[in-house]
Amino acid sequence: QVQLVESGGGLVQAGASLRLSCKGSGFTASSFAMGWFRQAPGKEREGLSCINSNGGIINNVESVKGRFTISRDNAKNTAYLQMDSLKPEDTAMYYCAATLYYCSVYYKARYDYWGQGTQVTVSS
């Protein structure tokens, strides 16, 4: 059974950093592309960044703006999202997702598996 479990969210002040983790089980992560998405209340889920099985990275430049960095450790079946210089508008539920296809930050339907999310709240 494939599972993705996010962790690392929390309540922080503006300007702080957080590192989110996405631990996969029931599959070999090295075969999958991994993506990070977020959804704020009343808004659509938006793609932030994704990393293909070969390490190639695609960023949603508008949302990430050089503050977020995606990475992966295939030996640990884990993907990460390093978030720096957090702003109150970054407050959202953050999700990771996995796909056997080439990753995308725009086509959510491409992803086969999703985690339950981890909440990030940034206070001003």
In this prediction, residue 62 carries a pLDDT of 82
In this prediction, residue 27 carries a pLDDT of 84
In this prediction, residue 63 carries a pLDDT of 75
Instruction: Residue count of the chain, please give it.
Output: 124
In this prediction, residue 64 carries a pLDDT of 82
In this prediction, residue 30 carries a pLDDT of 82
In this prediction, residue 55 carries a pLDDT of 87
Q: What percent of the chain stands above pLDDT 70?
A: 100
pLDDT < 70 stretches in the chain:
none
